[in-house]
Amino acid sequence: MDKWHGFLDGQCALRPNAPAFSDTTGTRWNFRDLSVACEALTAELRSHGVEAGDRVIVLSENCCAAVAALFAISRLGAVAVPVNARMSAAEVNRILDHARPAALLATTGVSEEAAGHAVRLNAVPCEGVWGQLHLALPYPSTPHDDPELAVLLYTTGTTGAPKGVMLSHANMCFGGKTSAQLRDMTEEDVIYGVLPTTHVFGLASVVTAAIYIGAQVRLETRFSPAKLYLALQGGVTLLSAVPQMHALLMQYTREQGHESLQDCPLRYVSSGAAPLDPDWKRRAEGFYGVALQNGYGMTETTAGICATRSLIGDPDISVGPALPGVEVRVDQDVEGGGAGLGEVLTRGPHVMLGYYQSAEETAKVLDDDGWLRTGDLGRLDDTGMLHIEGRAKELIIHGGFNVFPPEVEAALNAHPQVVQSAVVGRRVQGDEQVLAFVQVADGDEPDEADLRAFVADQLAGYKRPSRIVMARSLPAAPTGKILKHKLLDHFAPQLM
């Protein structure tokens, strides 16, 4: 079985001195440098008792040290668990309790949030050729017995409880190779790496794809339109981003006195994690001067299911055909089906192994024939293009991140003055807003600022509501169930 880190070994054998990764600390590595850092960190983890099959959390923001940690864990035969350092203490604790990692590495050199978690978890400095990290040893070693398991990526799920998506070495290899081929990547490409490596798109479709093909990645810890503008003027050829990033870049460029990018080598641009609007797509293509590509995937499918290879000016706003080797079908025997519309199912080498230590949750979405139920409604047109008409029943995608309403509702409901709450998404241009509707008791009404402060300690920034509407009651069925589909219309005046 091919291993995920085999891509790095291959580049070291072929092009050891070629540029590989750079970051905001000034670190610049070729493939040999990355390999040396991985080998040293593997030895360090082994000296602390970490074994093959152990889970190792990488609590990080984008930097070279994070990439070294991920591939060091793979070389050790352990399981990498990438976690966004911007998560709250409560969110990180839930993942810790579920994954029970033998070790945790925090990228304290680039992230104040990671440094804060390191202090809270009694982590100690762990510095070497890999850079600045902190190390904690939360649990005794209890190795997992599946050598295929490479990565655990946590998604909250619709229950609010964390679910670890198990991705195999084969999943990661397929995701990286397919992403590189889809984008026609070459070893001459320079990729802007601002999508978090703690999420499947940044991990599989950017980092792994780049290592597979031998391209270089300029890692950016946090998005800034000014930094992206300079990077595009400075040689970046591939950009994968979410709609807000594109919008903010266009606004910044206008502020510099330009309506479009000037004299840059950019050749590929994609926009993911939100539906495309035809007018916005036209404006973006006029701005970049290249076609804007679209796609569809999820954590459980190693990022990719479908993707476009459109020419500039193509009015199609589908998510494209299935990727090579991937099967897609639409099950119309679901609520909301009909007229060609149904739940999107997919099968192939991109589909996860299952949810970590949760056979029951796995069985709900993955059948014995390997078909994964995505929970999304879509239709296939006559040319085989998939059109997504609606997302999973409650999932909100805000800023490219998944937000599950039950988790936000749980945070709000913990406030002593809140009776109940309901959270929904509202589509705005290129994104979705997180809106919260809160029922409070008579004569006992908190203000919005109080509720915002209350949830700030429990939720990552991208999960916090952009608006909180308070009311004495929420629209409900006779059973008492909140009618979420009526909330936006019912409270339209307050949302204006």
Domain end: 182, 210, 237, which one? Answer: 182
**Is 213 inside any structural domain?**
no
CB-neighbour burial class of residue 491 (10 A; exposed 0-12, middle 13-18, buried 19+): middle
Does residue 312 fall inside a structural domain? no
- 424 lies in a domain? yes
Is the distance from CB of 164 to CB of 357 less than 8 angstroms? Answer: yes
Q: How many helices (H) and strands (E) does the chain have?
A: 16, 26
Return the pLDDT at 341.
Answer: 78
Pairing of strands 149-155, 124-128: unpaired
Token duo for residue 311:
């020419």
pLDDT one-digit tens code per residue, 368-413: 999 999 988 889 999 999 998 766 567 788 888 878 787 888 888 8
Q: Residue 216 in contact with residue 21, Cβ under 8 Å?
A: yes
CATH of the domain at 472: 3.30.300.30
- Boundary of a domain, candidates 152, 182, 212: 182
Task: For residue 55, give Cα distances in angstroms to 95, 149, 312.
Answer: 11, 10, 44
What is the percent of the chain with per-residue pLDDT over 70, rounded to a whole number? Answer: 94
Whether residue 162 is contained in a domain is answered as: yes
Q: Give the helix ranges, DSSP H, for 17-82.
A: 31-47, 64-76
Longest dimension (CA), the chain: 72
> What is the per-residue pLDDT for 160?
58
Backbone angles phi, psi at 128, to 5 degrees: -175, -160
Enter the tokens of residue 64.
Answer: 């070279």
Q: Which residue range is the domain that position 488 belongs to?
A: 396-495
Return the pLDDT at 479. 40
Instruction: Find, among 55, 107, 59, the residue nearest to 82 by Cα.
Output: 59
User: Please, which residues bridge with residue 467 across strands?
Assistant: 435
Would you state the structure tokens that stand for residue 399, as one six-digit string? 């800023």
How far apart CA 13 and CA 316 sit, in angstroms, is: 42
Reduced to 3 states (helix: H, G, I; strand: E, B; else coil), residue 296 is strand
- Which of 125, 153, 182 delimits the end of a domain? 182
Q: Give the domain CATH number at 26.
A: 3.40.50.980
205-236: pLDDT as tens digits: 999 999 999 999 999 999 899 999 999 999 99
Q: CA-CA distance, 491 to 488, in Å (whole number)?
A: 5
pLDDT of residue 478: 42
Q: How many domains does the chain have?
A: 2
Strand partners, 126: 133
Judged on CB neighbours under 10 Å (0-12, 13-18, 19+), 161 is middle
Does residue 24 sit within a domain? yes
Structural domain contains residue 225:
no
Kindly give the parts of the chain with pLDDT less than 50: 157-158, 335-337, 478-480
Q: List the Cα angle 206/62/293 in 5-degree steps.
A: 30
Residue 309's pLDDT is what?
94
How far apart CA 168 and CA 208 sit, in angstroms, is 13
- 277 assigned to some structural domain: no
- Assigned domain for 339 exists: no
Distances (CA, A) of 226 to 230, 231, 252, 272, 290: 6, 9, 7, 21, 20
**Predicted pLDDT of residue 391:** 61
Strand-pairing partners, residue 304, are: none
